[in-house]
Each structure stands twice: as structure tokens, then as C-alpha cells.
């Protein structure tokens, strides 16, 4: 039996609470993935894995289901900080080859810098595998938030796989 994802979607969220775990739960809710048992996996997007919308992906999942994902997570309770979580994806043109997902979290970078960095990281990972072969698609998602005094803030960005 192969656990090979056929589809994937990207999502992001932010949560704020007095409690660190609750801020993470709220970030999962904001990303619409709190209902699943999430299992973190590494950074490969399988060949022929179709990227679909979050709304279409959620329809294919059941509450309580074990779901594989690549997640970037960042949190802080230090006031007046900018925190970000980001995912970058690079997919080769050759449909027989797998692509790469990079995850990156940072503090005090603007959203554009964080997104460009993680997308370039995914491209670099793919290029070391395929050389000068053409790349079909690259993109990134970033969630940035500013922290408040005495509250935990959590940001997440994720690629969720559907088997």
C-alpha cells in the first residue's frame, strides 16, 4: 500500500490567546484545518499531485481524519514583534518528477521578503534535483501577524495532502 497524495491544498491562519496551545488551535481554526489529526511530513510534492482550492480540499476530508501536511509554524508572546510562517512550492514541468515544498518561519521580515525567500528555497531544492530542466510552477503562501502584550500569537502556513 502506497500513501501517495493525489491532491493538495494550501492554507494559512493566525490565532491569538493568553494560552500558547489555544493560540495554535485558533490558528488551525483560521486555516480551517482544526478538525483533522495532522501528521507533519517532509517536503516532497508527488508527481501528478494536483493543487486544488482550500474549499475543494476541505470537502474531501472528514472530521477526525488523519491528514498529512507540511506545516510552517511560528509563535511568540513578546510584544510588538512581526512573526511569519510561510510555505514555498516548486513543481517541475516534467509530470513524472516530484516537486519540492519549503517551509520557513521568521521574525521581523516583511511578508514579501519572507515569501520570496521561501519560494526561492523551494526552487533551489528542486534545481539541485532536476538541474536546468524547466519548472512549471512556483508560488508561496505567507501568514504574518503582529504580537500583543501578554498574549500568545501563532501563525501557520500549510500544504495539506489528500490521499
Q: Return the SS3 of 25.
A: helix
pLDDT per position as a tens digit, 104-130? 999 988 899 999 999 999 999 999 999
Give the mean model confidence (pLDDT) for residues 28-36.
98
Strand partners, 109: none
pLDDT per position as a tens digit, 129-161? 999 899 999 999 999 999 988 899 999 999 999
Is the CATH number 3.50.20.10 carried by domain 7-162? yes
Residue 1 has pLDDT above 80, yes or no: no
Q: How far apart are the first and last CA of the chain?
A: 12
**Contacts for 108 with CB less than 8 Å, ≥ 6 apart:** 81, 82
What is the domain partition of the chain in residue ranges? 7-162
Where helices occur in the chain by DSSP H, the ranges are 20-30, 54-59, 111-130
Q: Global pTM?
A: 0.95
Amino acid at each position: 500500500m502506497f500513501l501517495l497524495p493525489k491532491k493538495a491544498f494550501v492554507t494559512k491562519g493566525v490565532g491569538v490567546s493568553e494560552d500558547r496551545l489555544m493560540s495554535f488551535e485558533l490558528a488551525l481554526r483560521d486555516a480551517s484545518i482544526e478538525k483533522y489529526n495532522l501528521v507533519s511530513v517532509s517536503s516532497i510534492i508527488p508527481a501528478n499531485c494536483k493543487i486544488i482550492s482550500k474549499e475543494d480540499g476541505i470537502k474531501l476530508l472528514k472530521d477526525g481524519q488523519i491528514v498529512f501536511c507540511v506545516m510552517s509554524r511560528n509563535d511568540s508572546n513578546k510584544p510588538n514583534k512581526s512573526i511569519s510562517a510561510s510555505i514555498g512550492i516548486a513543481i517541475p514541468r516534467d509530470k513524472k518528477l516530484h516537486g519540492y515544498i519549503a517551509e520557513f518561519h521568521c521574525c521581523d521580515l516583511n511578508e514579501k521578503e519572507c515569501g520570496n525567500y521561501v519560494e526561492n528555497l523551494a526552487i533551489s531544492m528542486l534545481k539541485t534535483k532536476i538541474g536546468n530542466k524547466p519548472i512549471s510552477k512556483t508560488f508561496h503562501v505567507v501568514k504574518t501577524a503582529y504580537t500583543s502584550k501578554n498574549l500568545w500569537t501563532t501563525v501557520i502556513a500549510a500544504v495539506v495532502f489528500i490521499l
